[in-house]
Amino acid sequence: MDTIEFISQSLQQVQIRLLATCDGLSDEQVLWRPSPSSNNIGFILWHVARAEDDVASRLRLGESTLWVSDQWFEKFGQPIDSPDPGDRMGLRALSLPPLDTLVGYLEAVCRRTQEAVSGLTESDLDEQDGDSPAGRTTGMSLRHLITHKNNHHGQVDYIRGLQDDTWDLPRGTGMRLPNRP
């Protein structure tokens, strides 16, 4: 397996696990917070999608984010310049859409990321990543994206478990990608 395929499969796998964790959630579960200052699942999903959207737009040589170009901000009922995905306090003031809208945005962003990754070569991984922090290469940004998304999947999984102590990821989730041995 080459590096590009490894990155692509890693991103696909965490997406599968994240969506499996969200399957069947009620609106109440999406908005529930373990404590008043904790993030809820809806915020975490919004944050993950916005952060990945930023990386994918840089990989596509500075194309606009889907948040802007596909007007996801309207679907979320938020301003186009809503707070930065890392601004937890500013974001808590924003309303969140239903789960199907959150998942729709996650899926659209993941497809775009996969398209961008599939167009990369090994040498592209060592190139400067657009307007990312100084010195960050494309490979470093993708490594961060994989760990970022996986870390937040763990948070969603944990919150889901707090809500229902009998819940667990479906058996086999994480073992293989669809249509692969």
Domain locations along the chain: 3-163
pLDDT tens digits along 160-172: 999 998 888 777 6
Looking at domain 3-163, its CATH superfamily turns out to be dinb family like domain (1.20.120.450)
Provide the CA 8 distance to its chain's centre, in angstroms.
14
pLDDT tens digits along 53-69: 999 998 877 789 999 99
Q: What is the pLDDT of residue 133?
A: 66
Binned at pLDDT 50, 70 and 90, residue 89 comes out as low
Cα–Cα distance for residue pair 109/159, rounded to 1 Å: 23
The model carries a pTM of 0.89
Planar angle of CA 136, 145, 170, nearest 5 degrees: 165
To the nearest whole percent, how much of the chain has pLDDT over 70? Answer: 87
